[in-house]
Amino acid sequence: MTEILITHGFVIDPTQNINGDVADVAIRDGKIVDTVGSGAKVIDAKGKVVMAGGVDVHSHVAGPKVNVGRLMRPEDKLFKSPMAQEKFRMESGFSVPSVFKTGYDYARMGYGFVMEAAMPPIHSPHVHEEIHDTPIIDEAALPVFGNNWFVMEYLRNKEVENTAAYIAWLIRVTKGFGVKVVNPGGTAAWAWGLNCLKLDDKVPYFEITPSEIITGLLQANEYLGLPHSVHLHQNDLGNPGNFLTTIDSLKLAEGIKTKNKFGRTQVMHSTHIQFHAYGGENWGNFESKAKDVMDYVNKAKNITVDLGCVTLDETTTMTADGPFEHHLHSLNHIKWANTDVELETAAGVVPYVYDKDIRVCATQWAIGLELGLYAKDPERVFITTDHPNAGPFTRYPRVISWLMCRKARDATLNTFRHKDKVIEATTLDSIDRELTLYEIAQMTRSGPARCLGLSKMYGGLAPGMNADVAVFDLNYKSMPTDPVAIEKALQRAALFVKSGEIVVRDGTVLSHGHKKTVWVNVKMPENPQVVRDITQCFTRDYTVGINNYPVRDYLAPHPYVIDVDVEA
Amino acid sequence: MPKLITQVGCPYCGSSCDDLEVLVSDDNKTVLEVRNACIIGNNIFLHANDPTRPKLPRMRQPDGSMKEISYKEAIDWTAKTLIAAKKPLIYGFGSTNCEGMSAVGRVAEKAGAVLDNCASICHGPSFLAIFDNGYPSCTLGEAKNRADCVVFWGCNPMHAHPRHTSRYSLFPRGFFTQKGQMQRKVICVDPRETDTAKLADVHFMLDQGHDYDLFDAFRTVLRGHDIPDIVAGIKREKIVEAIEIMKKSRFVMIFFGMGCTHTDGRNHNVDIAISLTRDLNTHTKASIMAMRGHYNIAGPGQVWSWQFGFPYCIDLSKGTHAHMNPGETSSIDLAMRDEIDCFVNVGTDAGAHFPIEAVKHLKKHPFITIDPNFCMASEISDLHIPVRIAGVDEPGVVYRMDNVPIQFKAVIDGLPGVPSDEELFDMVYERMCELTQTEPVWLAAKAHRKYPSSAVN
């Protein structure tokens, strides 16, 4: 029986409305408890902030396209990999870190759970191989559905029940977590070199539109009552003037009611919204529409978003939005990898330099922050960088310091070559708001945990929850005036307890922890038509056998399985 | 009663067919019959019945003979040799599973070794091109379901990947290619009239070593410029005609092999092939794929990329970070410069594949082979440690040439006492930790899988 008592810290826990009260956090056997015995290991957190472990709602950390990014970018390692900690595995890479560095760096920042944001189903064994090689952090993965032949076929015929039955089967066999949708219809069109930029563009052959796919999947997701909602990467990503399509897509959630037993309140999570909040007609008059987008998001209670903040780094973009990566490559001409995946999806990888002295990049940076600063309900707006697309996850502390300090924003803005143009194209300069650490805890802990339907386990410090506890060297009653000090404190936790075990102290990793793979087991009565369709499709169209497709149990060696019973 | 096992993966070529049917004896010890496989795959399964398969490690004696020793002794000797070596090279992995590749990463880090795989001597130039230019590719199902123009450049699947054309590239009736071969235009580029070339609608019998010229001509024509009357021995009209075929196709699939990577130009050939694919994407849809040789040679590229960030030529000798610089840290170059003081050959045959000068240098130092069978490398080794055969008596994940992971099965029980690659490497690692009095580093995946397993002791 391991007991730990973290004493005298400033506790910040939005799930219990605790805002900086000095209190103790007690831990026994991997869970938060009310009290512990006198034999507990006592850790003095006096003058420090104590929060739940961070929850990352959207990050590309494991799987085929992440690995393509690693493989094709040796330059991402050159002079950018830290020296290994003694007795720990070597760490490689900056924008696409190796699995070891991924686990260590998340832990060093006090993060306990990370959602791999896009898993091509046929590659799910690969995703799970990487997940089980990633130390410390708990992970889950979202299989992609938005361009899947079964989904498009069933939804064209308005068969929501069959779609749901197929989703249930696929999530189960891939040991996945929920329904990810990437550029619905557009990626399928990309298999013929085309795209769907508008919500009513027809997908070649399947004769279905993106809006029909989104609506159908929203209905199927609630039919199943999954822990997480539809997780949507919208159409027309990254193009000037896309904010209208963005708002129209968000409107598809209107009238759809949540149905789940996991405390989730939204029916749609719209991811990396920064890439979807652009005005203007071309790169010349490219401007921010963050306010318009957030005005809608603030009103629509059944929607959550994450930011996808640009961090102004050299990074590696990677997405299942195949046509977008092809388009991006035509803009920067660096190098382009693409993988079209039979019947399911596609993916592209292109390195990208967000140069602060390029007006468009600097404007993108401002838009990401504007979105966060316009958030009325921080429980529905989460901090991400769409790692590694807008920047690596290791920059979260910097993003947080920008959101918390006007001074930090100004300092960065003042270094831009096109400062005046960025001010003109955005409203950032007119925003004085500085987020509090409590709001940051909502945006990185309680909010994303609830959005994922995991609020009973992660994101808070209430008794019974997982004992993921991060201690940061920040005095809540007299916060540092220097934003760099905030960034530094968040970058390297003073202490991180993961599942009741001390894994990081003073920013140094002490243990490989006991990571878990979280997946959802949807149980529903067998649907003969869907079973027949799947069997037939594997015989005829796939190039792998149906018996070799489901992820074998040993690849997810420490599962935490969430059962979902669907009534007939 | 013999049992029929279906959807079995084939441990031979990069096609990694997983539709084999294997009939095994009631006691799970003998393969009786193999269906659907090519003749080579067939033999790999039947070979597992061979009663002369090595069951114990063999150590070279002072008189030059080989003597059987226990696994414990072999593991101890391997661990001590790796610790003593300044720069060991652990090479191979074309024919084993990813679990073994993952386990060896731990050993290599501990030993400060150079970790390299067979790509070093086959598709290494393709990696160089990918580093420079990316890789617009797809899974093989896309080729099957969509490709109406297939280009085989410097490869001969009819011999090297016997079922590639029937499962993926040429003959199958796919979703959008219902007429199968009738619907596909096939272009073959090869200086020889291979059996693949005989199947092609257009065969470019180019001058040997002039692949780059021909690719360049293709790109030039595609971009609307003029070319000389003859390029690489091919008439201008034929080149223009081929480009017209590609532009009119809905989906162009380019497969390339050793004919690109191991002829004049090497990585530059692949580089321009990738550029051609990219250019074609402005006219139609096009994809390119390396014809990887072995059933899991794509595996080490994947596993080591996620562990170390590099697919091959990984120098871990610095102890603090991984370093890759092909030419400096590649197997042949290291061996030719005599920089290696211990060589471990795993799941391949460096004795047969390496230049003799390289082998001579390697032979000056401890030479260990880890392989289920006798091969040239095992016969010149100081120590030969047999392991189970991945895909026959050991299951595991393998990566097909298109990087799709396939979960292979074991069809028969392994030989008693013979470990898998993974178990062997874990045991070597534990022994190294014991000898150096350090704590082993296990990740979650190993907590209930690591040695001792039922197979050993």
| DSSP characters over A189-235 | HHTTT----STTPPPTTT---HHHHHHHHHHHHHHHT-SS-EEEE-S
- Residue B452 within a domain: no
CA distance A195 to B282: 13
Which of A79, A80, A90 is best to mutate for the B interface (most B CBs within 10 A)? A90
- Residue B81 within a domain: yes
**Helical spans, DSSP H, in B253-339:** 258-261, 267-280, 298-308, 331-336
Based on the fold, state whether residues B141 and B282 are members of the same structural domain.
yes
Q: Do A92 and B404 touch (CB under 8 A)?
A: no
Q: Do B320 and A558 touch (CB under 8 A)?
A: no
Closest of A382, A408, A391, A400 to residue A49, by C-alpha: A400
With contact defined as beta carbons under 8 Å apart, do A512 and B443 qualify? yes
Residue A161, both tokens: 């029940």
B chain contacts of residue A74, beta-carbon cutoff 8 Å: 131, 309-310, 324
B chain contacts of residue A205, beta-carbon cutoff 8 Å: 176
Based on the fold, state whether residues B149 and B238 are members of the same structural domain.
yes
- Residue B456 within a domain: no
Q: Give phi and psi for A316, each to the nearest 5.
A: -125, 115
Percent over 90 (pLDDT), chain B: 96
- Residue B156 within a domain: yes
With contact defined as beta carbons under 8 Å apart, do A343 and B404 qualify? no
Q: Give phi and psi for A231, each to the nearest 5.
A: -115, 105
Q: Does A329 reach chain B within 8 Å, measured CB to CB?
A: yes
Beta-carbon pairs below 8 A across chains A and B: 207
A chain contacts of residue B250, beta-carbon cutoff 8 Å: 192
Based on the fold, state whether residues B157 and B285 are members of the same structural domain.
yes
Question: Of A99, A337, A515, which has the smallest distance from its Cβ to B136's Cβ?
Answer: A337
- The domains of chain A, with CATH numbers, are 51-509 (3.20.20.140)
Q: What does DSSP assign to residue B13?
A: B
Min Cα–Cα distance to chain B from A166, Å: 20
3-state secondary structure of B176: coil
Q: Does A245 reach chain B within 8 Å, measured CB to CB?
A: no
- Residue B52 within a domain: no
Residue B397's contacts (CB-CB under 8 Å, 6 or more residues apart) are A125, A126, A129, A555, B97, B98, B99, B299, B405, B406, B407, B408
- Residue B190 within a domain: yes
Give the amino acid at B217. A
> Is B453 a residue whose pLDDT tops 60?
no
Closest of B338, B407, B441, B87 to residue A556, by C-alpha: B407
How much is the pLDDT for B441?
86
Give the amino acid at B218. F
Q: What stretch of H or E contains B126?
A: helix B124-133
3-state secondary structure of B418: coil
Based on the fold, state whether residues B40 and B64 are members of the same structural domain.
no
Range(s) of the domain holding residue B430: 58-121+295-446
Q: pLDDT tens digits for A424-472?
A: 999 999 999 999 999 999 999 999 999 999 999 999 999 999 999 999 9
How much is the pLDDT for A529?
97
Q: How many domains does chain B have?
A: 3
CA distance A303 to A298: 9
- Residue B192 within a domain: yes
Q: What stretch of H or E contains A523?
A: strand A517-523
Based on the fold, state whether residues B348 and B389 are members of the same structural domain.
yes
Based on the fold, state whether residues B116 and B128 are members of the same structural domain.
no
Which ipTM value was assigned to this complex?
0.96
Based on the fold, state whether residues B155 and B253 are members of the same structural domain.
yes
- Residue B414 within a domain: yes
Among B290, B321, B345, the domain-final residue is B290
With contact defined as beta carbons under 8 Å apart, do B51 and B432 qualify? no
With contact defined as beta carbons under 8 Å apart, do A63 and A126 qualify? yes
Q: Give phi and psi for A418, each to the nearest 5.
A: -105, 40
CA distance A444 to B251: 44
- Note the pTM of the prediction, 2 decimals: 0.97
Closest of B334, B322, B268, B257 to residue B91, by C-alpha: B334
A chain contacts of residue B404, beta-carbon cutoff 8 Å: 122-123, 543-544
Based on the fold, state whether residues B198 and B182 are members of the same structural domain.
yes
Mean pLDDT for B244-262 is 97
Q: What does DSSP assign to residue B405?
A: E
Question: Of A100, A544, A558, which has the smallest distance from its Cβ to B18's Cβ?
Answer: A544
Based on the fold, state whether residues B380 and B249 are members of the same structural domain.
no
Which CA distances in Å does A560 have to A28, A114, A177, A262, A454? 19, 14, 11, 15, 12
- Write the CATH number for B376: 3.40.50.740
How much is the pLDDT for B423?
94
Based on the fold, state whether residues B278 and B139 are members of the same structural domain.
yes
How much is the pLDDT for A79?
86
In the block, residue with structure tokens 């990087």: B403
Based on the fold, state whether residues B155 and B270 are members of the same structural domain.
yes
Minimal Cα distance from B21: which residue of A?
A545
Residue B40, both tokens: 């080579």
Q: pLDDT tens digits for A59-77?
A: 999 999 999 999 999 999 9
Min Cα–Cα distance to chain B from A147, Å: 14
With contact defined as beta carbons under 8 Å apart, do B370 and B100 qualify? no
- Tens-digit pLDDT profile for chain A (568 aa)? 589 999 999 999 999 999 999 999 999 999 999 999 999 999 999 999 999 999 999 999 999 999 999 999 999 998 888 999 988 999 999 999 999 999 999 999 999 999 999 999 999 999 999 999 999 999 999 999 999 999 999 999 999 999 999 999 999 999 999 999 999 999 999 999 999 999 999 999 999 999 999 999 999 999 999 999 999 999 999 999 999 999 999 999 999 999 999 999 999 999 999 999 999 999 999 999 999 999 999 999 999 999 999 999 999 999 999 999 999 999 999 999 999 999 999 999 999 999 999 999 999 999 999 999 999 999 999 999 999 999 999 999 999 999 999 999 999 999 999 999 999 999 999 999 999 999 999 999 999 999 999 999 999 999 999 999 999 999 999 999 999 999 999 999 999 999 999 999 999 999 999 999 999 999 999 999 999 999 999 999 999 999 999 999 999 989 999 999 997 5
Q: Give phi and psi for B113, each to the nearest 5.
A: -95, 170
CA distance B116 to B304: 9
Based on the fold, state whether residues B260 and B341 are members of the same structural domain.
no
Minimal Cα distance from B408: which residue of A?
A548
Adjacent-strand bridge partners of A6: A25, A43
CA distance A537 to A17: 51
Question: Of B306, B439, B448, which has the smallest distance from its Cβ to A70's Cβ?
Answer: B306
Residue-averaged pLDDT of chain B: 95
Question: Of A74, A125, A340, which has the smallest distance from its Cβ to B324's Cβ?
Answer: A74
B chain contacts of residue A540, beta-carbon cutoff 8 Å: 175
Among B290, B310, B325, the domain-final residue is B290
Q: Do A81 and B309 touch (CB under 8 A)?
A: yes
Chain A 434-453, CB below 8 Å of chain B: which residues? none
- Write the CATH number for B134: 3.40.228.10
Chain A 367-406, CB below 8 Å of chain B: which residues? none
> Is B225 a residue whose pLDDT tops 80?
yes
With contact defined as beta carbons under 8 Å apart, do A436 and A405 qualify? no
A chain contacts of residue B319, beta-carbon cutoff 8 Å: 84
> Is B455 a residue whose pLDDT tops 60?
no
Among B243, B259, B290, the domain-final residue is B290
How much is the pLDDT for B446?
63
Q: Does A558 reach chain B within 8 Å, measured CB to CB?
A: yes
